[in-house]
Amino acid sequence: MKVVSIRDIHIGKGIPKVVVPLIGRTIEELLLEIKSLQTNFEIIEWRADFLEGIEDITKVKKTLSTLREVLYPTPLLFTFRTHREGGNKIIEDSYYETLLVEVMKTKEVDLIDVELFSPKVTEIMQAAKGTDLFIIMSNHDFEKTPAKEEIIWRLKRMQELDAHIPKIAVMPNNPTDVLTLLDATYTMYSLYADRPIITMAMASTGVISRLAGEVFGSAATFGSGVASSAPGQIPAVDLKYILGLIHTKQE
């Protein structure tokens, strides 16, 4: 199993890493979010789809540079979540590609999120070749939990596309859906994965999947800072504490 190492953070080894999203609309709000964090977390995600003026590449780069300076050496994940996968803003597919490629060129981020079902996924992955970036390839289903076989297929497809970390989030409509997600996670982890994977079931029904990832093979989880970026996120401080308890019992 490959491990994704960013400075002293090793994704895929030991306790699942906690990712905390920043969702401020302005640089001022983003800096206040950072200041309010109660402890250090392994990875910070900038959810750029919340930024006012995201269509201005110059503004994006300036904001990113400020975040990088303030947060270093904490690994920084850049995410523009498209509207079709639960994001905050609608943009053209061509601009999605342009945005991600321009962010890659800045060398100000450590990881970048690329959506599996983006029409531009091939072009974006091609642009990422030769860079030092780690790619988290993602898929979010806010309507349902796909069948176990479909979840595994999507994760395997991300691996085939050379994503460093495949990630999937699904919406459970009942506890059985959560079991489906966890079963698919363990099967992928134990039989097919040669790199870290991240999986979760959303909403209150799926909270257990955010806590028990280490048991089933998920290498990271997302916890809220000032506010959550997806249904079912719990405060990152509480998340770190619970993960620590589970990890201790696993040893």
pLDDT at 225: 72
For residue range 58-86, list pLDDT tens digits in order.
999 999 999 999 999 999 999 999 999 99
pLDDT, mean of residues 183-194: 98
- Label each residue of the chain as H, E or C: CCCEEECCEEECCCCCEEEEEECCCCHHHHHHHHHHCCCCCCEEEEEHHHCCCCCCHHHHHHHHHHHHHHHCCCCEEEECCEHHHCCCECCCHHHHHHHHHHHHHHCCCCEEEEECCCCCHHHHHHHHCCCCCEEEEEEEECCCCCCHHHHHHHHHHHHHCCCCEEEEEECCCCHHHHHHHHHHHHHHHHHHCCCCEEEEECCHHHHHHHHCHHHHCECEEECECCCCCCCCCCEHHHHHHHHHHHHHHHC
**Annotated catalytic, 167?**
yes
Distance CA 218, CA 215 (A): 8
Structure tokens at 95: 């601009």
Active-site entry in 167, 240, 247, 249 = 167
Q: Cis before residue 73, ω within 30 degrees of 0?
A: yes
Q: Answer for the pair 19, 44: CB distance below 8 angstroms, yes or no.
A: yes
Record the pTM. 0.94
234 has pLDDT over 70: yes
pLDDT band at residue 228, thresholds of 50, 70 and 90? Answer: low
**Annotated catalytic, 10?**
no
Active-site entry in 17, 140, 164, 240 = 140
